[in-house]
Amino acid sequence: MLQSSTLKFLTDLVQNNNREWFLENRNRYDDSKADLEKLVGTLITEVGKFHDLGNLQVKDCIFRINRDVRFSKNKDPYKSNLSAGIGPGGRSSGRVDYYLHIQPGGQSFLGGGMWDATAEQLAKYRQEVDYNADELKSIINDKEFREYYPEISGESLKTAPKGYPKDHPEIELLRRKQLFFIHRFSDKDVTSKGFADSIVKGMKLLKPYTDFMNYILYDANPEAEDIQL
C-alpha cells in the first residue's frame, strides 16, 4: 500500500507545478518517493519468485519526477505522477516489462506491452501474427487475463500494413503499432493493504505476454521485411 499523503502530494503538485513550490515541499516529495521505493522493494521480492530479475535494485526502477520540457509545449517542470519500471534491467532496459504508474483521481495503473517498437520490431511482430497468431491470442484472450486487463491501449494503423491483405483473418492484430494492456486502480485501491498483492497478481498474469513479446521483438531473429508504419 501507499500512504494517502503520497497521493495528496501529487494532487497538490498539479496545482503548484513550479520549482519554487517544489523546493519548499521537497520533504513531502522525498517522503512520497520513499513510500514508492518501499512498495517497489516489496514487488521486486515477490516478483522475483516467478520472474528472474537478476540483481535488480529499487533505484534502477524509479523514474525521475522531472519532465524533459525541451521539445514540449507543456513547460510544467514536474510530472503529475510517480512511476516505476520493473523487470530485468529496470526502467532503462528497453524491453517489454511491468510499468507501475501512480496518479491521483483513479489514474493509477499497472500495465505492460509493445509501445515504442521500431519498424524492424513491428515487422517481426506482424510476421509472427501472420504465421501463428494462436499463441498470442491464447495469452491475451485468456479469461483471467482479460478480467484483470480489460483495457487495451495504443495506436493502430487505419488500414492494413504493407504486404498484408485487408481481409486477413488477423487484421486487427496486424494493424497494431502498440499493444499495451492496462489495469487501473482507484485511490482507495492504492492506499489499501492488498495493493501490493494485486500488483503481483497482475504481473504474474502479464508475464506470459511480456515473455512472448520480448522473444519476438528482441530475442528471436526471424527474417522480416520492412513494412509501412
**More confident: 130 or 224:** 130
pLDDT of 157 over the 50 cut: yes
Query: What does the mean pLDDT of the chain come to?
Result: 95
For the segment 76-81, the average pLDDT, to the nearest whole number, is 97
Q: Is the pLDDT of residue 34 over 50?
A: yes
The reported pLDDT for the residue numbered 221 is 65
Residue 153 clears pLDDT 80, i.e. is over it: yes
At 220 the pLDDT is 82
DSSP state at residue 217: I
Q: What is the pLDDT of residue 72?
A: 87
Q: How far is C-alpha 180 from the geometric centre of its chain's CA atoms?
A: 7
Question: At 70, is the pLDDT very low, low, confident or very high (cuts 50, 70, 90)?
Answer: confident
- Dihedral sign from CA coordinates of 37, 218, 207, 99: positive
Backbone conformation region of residue 89, classed left if phi is above 0, alpha if psi is from -120 to 50, else beta: left
Q: Give the Cα separation of 83 and 45 in Å (integer).
A: 18
Residues in the chain: 229
pTM recorded for the entire structure: 0.93
Residue 225 has pLDDT above 70, yes or no: no
The answer to whether 196 touches 77, Cβ cutoff 8 Å, is no
Contact 212, 133 (CB under 8 A): no
Residue with cell 535494485: 57
pLDDT of residue 223: 52
The answer, yes or no, to whether residue 87 has pLDDT greater than 60, is yes
Is the pLDDT at 23 greater than 80? The verdict is yes
Q: Are 110 and 183 contacting, i.e. CB atoms less than 8 angstroms apart?
A: yes
Cell of 81: 505522477
